């Protein structure tokens, strides 16, 4: 079964210039899919379509077998429970403790639980991503960048989503922290069967290490989709250049 199925997705913001130009992509349930590509090729626009934040100009997006165009706005908001998103800068609430940050979606969607249960659930998620209890009452500004990533990830997985989206999870991090975040993506992915992880990244090493499948976007379409091996063996010039640059850089 495909977690994500995109057919001929086109998107224009001004009615004239197309950012996505007939994009086709399938992501198998249970896989880690990495989406790579040069800057400005539409990766973030694609991500926002998956979350229902942008509407396609044409084409079909199905997620977990549901055509998301069929969902009303109110249904879309509950459908979003299927998603966990780790934004690039973790996007935490500055004036809430790390624990309160993780409790935020739980408070919103798990009103069936008591306060104590919600707090326990949030603690368990922070524990799962390896954040020590001594940091639970600190503000995001009082913990390190790596810890903020952990908090962001704990919040992303708070509702046990089936699909986890990572938007440039390691951009701007040092090599040690990059490896730590990549490890965290892997361990989170493996923490439950059936999770689908979608990682948008500039980091080719991460894509090759994490990705069961890798899709390279170019000019609003998928230029190549395959395994790391397919990327090394390709004849497509632009992919070769991307691979050479990515491998040379580190």
Which residue ranges make up the site for ligand ATP (CB under 6 A)? 13, 19, 37, 39-45
- The only residue of 2, 7, 24, 44 in contact with Mg ion, by rule CB under 5 A: 44
Q: Confirm or reject binding of residue 88 to Mg ion (CB under 5 A).
A: no
> Measured between alpha carbons, how far is residue 111 from residues 30, 116, 136, 169 in Å?
29, 12, 22, 30
CB of 192 to Mg ion, least distance (A): 28
CB of 173 to ligand ATP, least distance (A): 16
Instruction: Report the nearest approach of ligand ATP to the CB of residue 153 (Å).
Output: 20
Measured from the CB atom, is 126 or 216 closer to ligand ATP?
216
Residue 62 near Mg ion by CB under 5 A? no
Cα dist from 177 to 56, 111, 164, 192, 242, whole Å: 36, 35, 20, 24, 23
Q: For ligand ATP, which is the closer residue by CB, 49 or 155?
A: 49
Strand partners of residue 36: 216
The region of 38-46, 104-112, 136-144, 182-190 touching Mg ion under the rule CB under 5 A is 38-46
State the CB neighbour count (10 A cutoff) for residue 176. Answer: 9
Residue 149, classed as helix, strand or coil, is helix
The interface partner of residue 132, options being Mg ion, ligand ATP, none and the CB cut-off 5 to 8 Å by kind, is none
User: In what helix (H) or strand (E) does residue 87 lie, and over which residues does it extend?
Assistant: none
Q: 47 or 154, CB closer to ligand ATP?
A: 47
Report in angstroms how near the CB of residue 44 gets to Mg ion at its nearest: 3
CA-CA distance, 196 to 54, in Å (whole number)?
21
- Chain residues that interact with Mg ion, rule: CB under 5 A: 43-44
């Amino acid at each position: 079964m495909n977690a994500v199925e995109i057919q001929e997705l086109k998107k224009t913001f001004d009615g004239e210039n197309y950012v996505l130009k007939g994009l086709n992509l399938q992501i198998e349930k249970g896989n880690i899919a990495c989406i790579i590509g040069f800057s400005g090729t539409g990766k973030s626009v694609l991500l926002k379509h998956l979350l229902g934040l942008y509407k396609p100009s044409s084409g079909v997006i199905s997620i977990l077998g549901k055509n998301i165009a069929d969902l009303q706005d109110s249904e879309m908001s509950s459908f979003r429970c299927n998603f966990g998103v780790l934004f690039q800068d973790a996007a935490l609430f500055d004036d809430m403790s790390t624990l309160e940050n993780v409790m935020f979606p739980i408070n919103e969607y798990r009103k069936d639980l008591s306060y104590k249960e919600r707090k326990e659930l949030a603690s368990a998620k922070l524990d799962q991503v390896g954040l020590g209890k001594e940091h639970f009452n600190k503000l995001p500004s009082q913990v390190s960048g790596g810890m903020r990533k952990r908090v962001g990830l704990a919040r992303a997985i708070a509702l046990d989503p089936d699909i986890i989206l990572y938007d440039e999870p390691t951009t701007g991090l040092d090599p040690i922290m990059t490896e730590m975040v990549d490890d965290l993506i892997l361990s989170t992915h493996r923490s439950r069967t059936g999770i689908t992880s979608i990682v948008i990244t500039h980091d080719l090493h991460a894509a090759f290490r994490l990705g069961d499948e890798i899709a390279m976007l170019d000019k609003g379409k998928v230029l190549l989709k395959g395994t790391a091996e397919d990327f090394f063996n390709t004849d497509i010039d632009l992919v070769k250049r991307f691979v050479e640059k990515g491998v040379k850089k580190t």
